[in-house]
Structure 1
Amino acid sequence: MVTFFEASLDTISVHHVGNPSINELYSLSDHPLELKDEVIPNLLMQYFLKPFEKANEVYHLTHSSGDLSLNEIHHFVTRVFDQKEKFHEASELIAKFLFKVTTHPNIKGGELYVVYFNKVQIEGNPLDAIGIFKSENKETYLKVYPDKGGFQVDYEENAININKLDKGVLIFNIEKENGYKVVVIDKNNSGGQDAAVYWKDDFLQLKIRNDSYNQTTNTLGIYKNFVTEKLDEEFEMSKADKIDLLNRSMKYFKEKDTFDMDEFTGEVLGNEKAIESFKNFKSQYEQEFDSPIADTFEISDNAVKKQAKVYKSVLKLDKNFHIYIHGDKDLIEKGFDDGKAMNYYKVYFKEEA
């Protein structure tokens, strides 16, 4: 989704943003950072951009009023894309705005980096991009060095691990009228829900792009919740039956190129009452989250692979056994043993591996 083999770091400004709710302040630098050699820019490129290589979700900047001009970040980055000489001034305004929305006492203060990149690729298109990054967690590092025919050990506190980006966003200079193309990283979600959402919701004000990746993810997620949470209210089903329904849905998404609602529900659910219930369940989701899902869309392989990791095909029996169900559910039967007063499963197979 995002690649940076042609990218270069153009300009970077660094500020410190504290938490005003615990009486911390912010500190602004007077000018952009001076990069005096090639090593530091390369390390910074790795720190800032490498985490985005696996980012599949694309967002847009938005505003609750519907007026995009009221989104502060959209306003600041537009000023830079239009007049690059305004970069450092805009970086100061971005730092002040982040300070303003840092209202929860559990949000950690840290360094804020605002960066102008050239030729970062998103969806195969090399573009200028503005990156905003925040480092909140520091670590202690040991340093070993030769000394007098042997070695000495020293340490450095409050250092940054370049392999662990806490928070970051890349805003690409394309689709300005839609809120730009945006990808985001938010690895540090400690401190409770209110503290966790401030980066995406309060600072950036993002809405996910309703593309094939998002529609595939949402449909699989809705179906999983329907099977695991809703079906019990209307049908009497064993856990093995539920696992079979999940396996059948995953099989459909892995084998098809295009999702079709009527085809999917007919092949996977096959019961008119269950089909109607699922469509109602999906409609409720769309209304609640204002996220419509088309009845037909191109299936995203990356979304299927990601969702497959959370689709469970394991039947857990007390603490003694786990049964992995990957195929024909008719080869497993559930019963009850009166003598032992316990449930049991009977499994049929041809060969033992």
Structure 2
Amino acid sequence: MFFHQDATFEALSIHRVGNKAQDEFYILSDAPVSLEGDEVLPGLLMQYFMSPFAKVNEVYRLYHPNDELDLNEVFYFVRQYFKEQLPFHDFSQQISKHLYEVSSHPKIKAGEVYVVAIKNVQIEGEEHDAIGIFKSENKETYLKVYPEQGAFTLEYEQEAININKLDKGCIIINVEEEEGYKVLVLDQTNRQQEAVYWKDEFLKLRVRNDNFNQTGNYLKVYKNFVQEKLDETFELEKADKIDLMNKSMNYFKEKETFVQEEFEEEVLGNPQAIALFQDYKAGFEDEFDSPFQSSFEIADKAVKKMESSYKSVLKLDKNFHIYVHGKREYLEKGFDEDKGMNYYKVYFENES
């Protein structure tokens, strides 16, 4: 969990980065922005930069495909700054120039880049210094209304920034340097291909493989396996898939520690299905370079996050919904020849 309530800004530099593919350029400021003596602006900036990260759970690391961290430009400059080998404003300029070099997709928008030195952010119960890198791409128009001489005056301001809508950002926390630091990241403007540059090309991130991510990823892989792969080998009704999903969710809710063999036996049971799942899971591990451990502590927050995506509803035309929470053997499916329609038979003891 990330907290910024006790954090303070040590320095702030602002630059502008254009789209290299559109022959736009970058503009580097000559000096940091002074916040000294301003009682309002630091609080507004803290809200703008830090508040969106309050609900971020995934922790990433900086990396390089060649496993040489120094080849990651952001890591190289961040480490120099943290070790006091590179002055803050020079660091902010280097980061902005690197962002410009990877801004080559034609749909990437120009915008201001804010580089912030932060003290006393808290992550996972410990306080650390950090670097924040943020980019604003979208501007809005605001109306200003105020009384004047018995009437009201109306003005407007174009190309203004909404401090409740951070476009892109990351916070790099000065801990676990050898592993690529702890990094939180947001990109709330684009979900398509052109957005890949922020995480993959500018920062070069991969998910930290801790208990939270082990738990969440395992539930994601199992869900996709049930929904996409099992049909190739087994004839499953939708109720059977829901039952398999419920079993896995109940396992993660009831256990404190995940044990692979125990999970496969209690949830899947069928040796053929277990072998299929192991192959499917291995494909995920290879594709995302994120191996699963055979045993790990289950993260309750990851379970709660995934629970909403584990649907347990049978939707029957537009007339009925059947919520299946367990006892699959009490639900039977059939076909009525006279009506020419499918039906479900449900067994129960009490009605409420």
TM-score, normalised by the number of residues in structure 1? 0.96
- 1:108 CA displacement: 1.0
Cα distance in 2 between the residues matched to 1:275 and 1:179: 35
Structure 2: runs of 5 or more not aligned: none
Distance change >3 Å, CA 111–CA 233, structure 1 → 2? same
- 1:84 CA displacement: 7.1
- What residue is the counterpart of 2:17 in the other structure? 17
- 1:135 CA displacement: 0.9
Q: Cα deviation per residue 1:138-180 (whole Å; 9 max; x = unaligned)?
A: 1222222112323233322221111111111111111111111
Superposition pairs of residues 90-101 of structure 1, within 5 angstroms: 90-101=91-102
Cα distance in 1 between the residues matched to 2:311 and 2:288: 25
- What residue is the counterpart of 2:271 in the other structure? 272
Cα distance in 2 between the residues matched to 1:26 and 1:183: 25
- What residue is the counterpart of 1:62 in the other structure? 63
- 1:123 CA displacement: 1.0
Distance change >3 Å, CA 125–CA 150, structure 1 → 2? same
Cα distance in 1 between the residues matched to 2:17 and 2:220: 37
Cα distance in 1 between the residues matched to 2:272 and 2:73: 48
Cα distance in 1 between the residues matched to 2:290 and 2:221: 12
Superposition pairs of residues 1-353 of structure 1, within 5 angstroms: 1-35=1-35, 36-83=37-84, 86-190=87-191, 192-193=192-193, 195-353=194-352
- 1:323 CA displacement: 2.0
Q: How many residues align structurally?
A: 351
Identity over the aligned pairs, expressed in percent?
A: 59
Structure 1: runs of 5 or more not aligned: none
Cα distance in 1 between the residues matched to 2:331 and 2:153: 64
Task: Say if 2:80 and 2:86, in contact at 8 Å, map to a contact too.
Answer: no
- What residue identity is the alignment partner of 1:223? Y
- What residue identity is the alignment partner of 1:74? F
- What residue identity is the alignment partner of 1:290? D
Cα distance in 1 between the residues matched to 2:304 and 2:334: 34
Q: Cα deviation per residue 1:100-124 (whole Å; 9 max; x = unaligned)?
A: 1001011111110000000111111
- What residue identity is the alignment partner of 1:222? V
Cα distance in 2 between the residues matched to 1:127 and 1:173: 6
Cα distance in 2 between the residues matched to 1:196 and 1:319: 38
- 1:85 CA displacement: 6.3
State the SS of the aligned residue for 1:75. helix
- What residue identity is the alignment partner of 2:283? Q
Q: Cα deviation per residue 1:6-63 (whole Å; 9 max; x = unaligned)?
A: 2101100001111121222211111000114121001101111111111111111111
Cα distance in 2 between the residues matched to 1:44 and 1:271: 55
TM-score, normalised by the number of residues in structure 2? 0.96
- 1:229 CA displacement: 0.6
State the SS of the aligned residue for 1:197. helix
Task: Say if 2:12 and 2:115, in contact at 8 Å, map to a contact too.
Answer: yes
- What residue identity is the alignment partner of 2:100? F
State the SS of the aligned residue for 2:106. coil
- 1:287 CA displacement: 1.9
- What residue identity is the alignment partner of 1:110? G
Cα distance in 2 between the residues matched to 1:95 and 1:283: 38
- What residue identity is the alignment partner of 2:75? H
- What residue identity is the alignment partner of 1:73? V
Cα distance in 1 between the residues matched to 2:298 and 2:5: 28
- 1:329 CA displacement: 1.8
Distance change >3 Å, CA 58–CA 337, structure 1 → 2? same
- 1:351 CA displacement: 4.2
Q: CA RMSD in A?
A: 1.4
- 1:352 CA displacement: 4.1
Cα distance in 2 between the residues matched to 1:115 and 1:203: 17
Which segment is superposed worse, 335-344 or 237-246?
Answer: 335-344
Cα distance in 1 between the residues matched to 2:231 and 2:268: 14
- 1:283 CA displacement: 1.6
